[in-house]
Amino acid sequence: MRITVVEGDITSQDVDAVVNAANRGMRGGSGVDGAIHAAGAPEVLEDCRRRFPHGLATGDAGWTTAGRMAARWVIHVVGPNRHAGETDRSLLTSCYRRALEVADELGARSVAFPLVSAGVYGWSREESVDAALEVFRSADTADTGVDEARFVAFGRSAHELVRSRVESPGGPG
């Protein structure tokens, strides 16, 4: 699997699937979640209501249509909220692992990822990138059908941080 890094808006990525850093209720929110629901239009929310009437557990993932975005699917992951006491790193790595598993179920070859739980959920960008790289570079994901895992960093400083960690020879994973 090739790991790439781009600076930009995850909602405009021309990939098979975009990953949404969702909340447990799966009804939209702020940050990446709000942007994806806005760009996908009502179709994303309607599909969330239909597929996930009770939401999802922290660390889990599921998919919906991408609505009006260029991608075909949205893979929703519920990241851990450090501020709410969810400090178990395995919940964060589970988001990336489950996203790849769902991508495989869908047959998605290219997947755009945000920095899950970085931001309002209190995990640092470094922790989020390192958790993703641990999963992307592990032997467990050697059999994935995903050809490209694309980090989409919003803003220059985030892009530089992600790029430097991905390119670091001694980095995680």
Long-range CB pairs of 159-166 (<8 Å, 24+ gap) are 159/5, 159/6, 159/7, 161/125, 161/126, 161/129, 162/5, 162/115, 162/125, 162/129, 163/5, 165/126, 165/129, 165/130, 165/133, 166/3, 166/5, 166/129, 166/133
Tokens at 112, concatenated: 């755009």
Pairwise CA distance, residues 100 & 84, whole Å: 26
Asked if 66 and 155 touch (Cβ cutoff 8 Å), the reply is no
- Active site (catalytic) residues: 33
Pairwise CA distance, residues 38 & 98, whole Å: 24
